[in-house]
Amino acid sequence: MKRIIAIAVCLVAAAAWWAVSTTAPPPASSSNCTEPAAYPADFRMRLSKVRRVHLQSGAPLPDSLQWQRADVHAPISSPEAKKGGRVRLSNAGPFPAHFLRFGGGAPQFFHQNLQAATEIPLLTKHPATGEISAGVAVAWARTGSTIYFRLHPKARYNNERPVRANDYLLSAMLQAEQHCTEFDELAAAITEMRSHGDSVLSVTLRENCDLPAVCALLHAAEPAFYSEFDSRFRERYTQRIPPGTGPYRVDKLERGRMIELQRVQNWWGEALPLYRHRFNADTLEYHFLTSEAQVWEFLLKGKLDALQTRNITAWQERVTNNDELLTQVYDAEYPLPPYGIACNTRTLPDIHLRRGLMQAMDMDGALAIMMRGEGQRLTTFSSGYGKLTPTITPQYKYDAIAARACFAKAGFTDCGSDGILRMPDGTRLSVKLLYTPHEKISNMVNFLVQSAAVCGAEIVPEPVPWQSCQRQLQERSHQLVFWAVPAPQQPAPKIFFGADAAPEYSPFGLQDERMANLLEQMQTAPEHTLEQIDRRVYELAIWLPGWKENRVYLAHHKRLCIPPSPWCFDALDAHLFWVETKP
């Protein structure tokens, strides 16, 4: 009897542990407290050891700075918006493997949703007028290449601790010490960061960068939370939720299924111009579903409140003549993820083989058939950067004759009975294509496999979960990979093509002297260099351009109000919506 009781107690304890581990957010290392946390005892000494960006705490503030207020613009959301309610959304992609603000490798697309809801930048840009508007900073000044930010006196993290200028230096220091990819982006744009007391931060730019783009590189690190951040940070911090400055915090999660965000009550930034009447729902549920078909099923059954898709086929099939849903369509130009197929030069070192593969996969045909003519082909690797975007970048066209000629130069001169080319020693022209299964991508892969077979190449599809795909990228064991990461706000080709680039950002495994010289040149002459970098990508045959997704189709139930906004590309991510409650 005692044994049965003991077993029962163990089962109850296990069940309790499972409930906590699957429904509660990971614990932070700092408790709620309104007092600022202490910095490391050796903080200043560690700052002085950082290379590539000079970091200095407590620098004197120059006299006669001409401060510009950034909090006087008209709001961009509807004054009819109402606070309250619960909104259920889906996330296109896997459950996040980590919640690291930096140092976690290539971000998953949910990280962008999470950051938009839980973080705000120092300054941002008014989408209608282009004017600089307030975020964590309420004013700014500029002398030469140095920009000064005066922090909002009420700026707080969602654990109630105040935001201070040194928090940004702490963030840069930790990134540098742990060799985070984000520090490479920071160092490419900034030569110096200084704090001037608690309320003023300054940065000195390497070149004339767009101010909001610079702000996107600067992140505040709350000292108490990061007090254990060291070489084992990926092990310690992967599932911890960092304190944020934004209007939401992670309240609950069910691993693999759902993440719930709760609106911060009495949020300090509620009155900021670009945040007024936004972020209205009390609770946001992000559901991680297995396929877009399941997302549509949940929407049509009323288990989700809205759905955004770039899949016109599904849109036409499910929305037409549906009186229960309201619809909107958005178009915009913005920094685009470089969707496409990347070649690993370490496992595919023969350039003739790579060039043959570029011409053996009919991407234009796949887009025409799978997207019903709506898919627009990417023409450059670096897209959406205004005048910096390359205008003329050569592309490989689908050409069976040209592809076979390239394969012959690579040694594949014989043809087997199945139509696949071989070397004289019998080695088949067989290459694996790694990808994460998704209805649209899976169909496109099948089409590309067939088009390559016509050219004598066997493309072997290798569908794997996102985590397995990331592992192969880390090991650099892949050959071809259907790949994209969120594009940086300003051009940063070094994170993609640098010899020491992180593999999750750089599946190319590139070691090329010409590219290395161009990346150095990029620091001083970006307008004349980015196009040359794109041309070099073509010459090396390391990336087959996919498509650009700058059109979004939105369907939502009537309980959700989403005002039309011609300036807004993504109404859900912009948090313009609210729940309409009946009187």
Burial class (CB in 10 A: 0-12, 13-18, 19+), 171: buried
User: Residues near 27 by Cβ (< 8 Å), separated by ≥ 6?
Assistant: 240
3-state secondary structure of 180: coil
pLDDT at 385: 80
Residue 284: predicted pLDDT: 97
pLDDT at site 572: 81
Instruction: Please tell me whether residue 27 adopts helix, strand or coil conformation.
Output: coil
Helix, strand, coil percentages for the chain (3-state, nearest 5): 30, 20, 50
Angle at 122 between CA 119 and CA 125, to 5 degrees: 95
One-character DSSP codes across 486-535 = PPPSS--THHHH-TT--TTT-TT----HHHHHHHHHHTT-HHHHHHHHHH
Residue with tokens 């990228």: 473
Q: What's the per-residue H, E or C state across 114-172?
A: HHHHHCCCCEEECCCCCCEEECCEEEEEEECCEEEEEECCCCECCCCCECCHHHHHHHH
pLDDT for res 106: 67
Q: How far is the C-alpha of 195 from the C-alpha of 327, rounded, in Å?
A: 47
| Dihedral sign of CA atoms 171, 175, 176, 177 in order | positive
pLDDT at residue 372 in the model = 63
Pairing relationship of beta strands 430-435 and 458-463 according to DSSP bridges = parallel
Residue in 177, 165, 169, 206 with CA at minimum distance from that of residue 51 = 177
| Spatial distance between the Cα atoms of 453 and 475, rounded to a whole number of angstroms | 28
DSSP type of residue 274: G
C-alpha angle with apex 195: 194 to 196, nearest 5 degrees? 120
Q: Beta strand 306-309 with 283-287: parallel, antiparallel or unpaired?
A: unpaired
Residue 479 carries which DSSP code?
A: S
- Structure tokens that stand for 560 in this block: 């959700």
* 370, 376, 382, 385 alpha-carbon torsion, rounded to 10°: -140
Can you list the domains of the chain with their CATH numbers? 24-30+37-275 (3.40.190.10), 289-332+550-579 (3.40.190.10), 340-548 (3.10.105.10)
CA 259 to CA 95: how far, in whole Å?
9
Identify the H or E element spanning 194: strand 190-196
Distance, in Å, from the CA atom of 309 to the CA atom of 287, rounded to the nearest integer, reads 15
Please tell me the predicted confidence (pLDDT) of residue 10: 42
pLDDT of residue 432: 97
Q: Can you list the alpha helix ranges (DSSP code H) found in 164-232?
A: 165-177, 181-189, 211-215
- pLDDT means per 10 residues, the chain with 583 residues, are 40 38 47 81 97 96 91 81 95 85 79 90 84 93 95 96 98 96 88 97 84 88 96 92 96 94 96 92 94 90 91 81 86 78 97 98 88 73 83 89 97 95 96 88 92 97 87 92 83 87 88 93 81 95 87 89 71 87 62
Backbone conformation region of residue 257, classed left if phi is above 0, alpha if psi is from -120 to 50, else beta: alpha
In three state form, how does the secondary structure of 235-247 look? HHHCCCCCCCCCC
**DSSP assignment of 330-362, as one string?**
EE---PPP--EEEE-TTT---HHHHHHHHHHS-
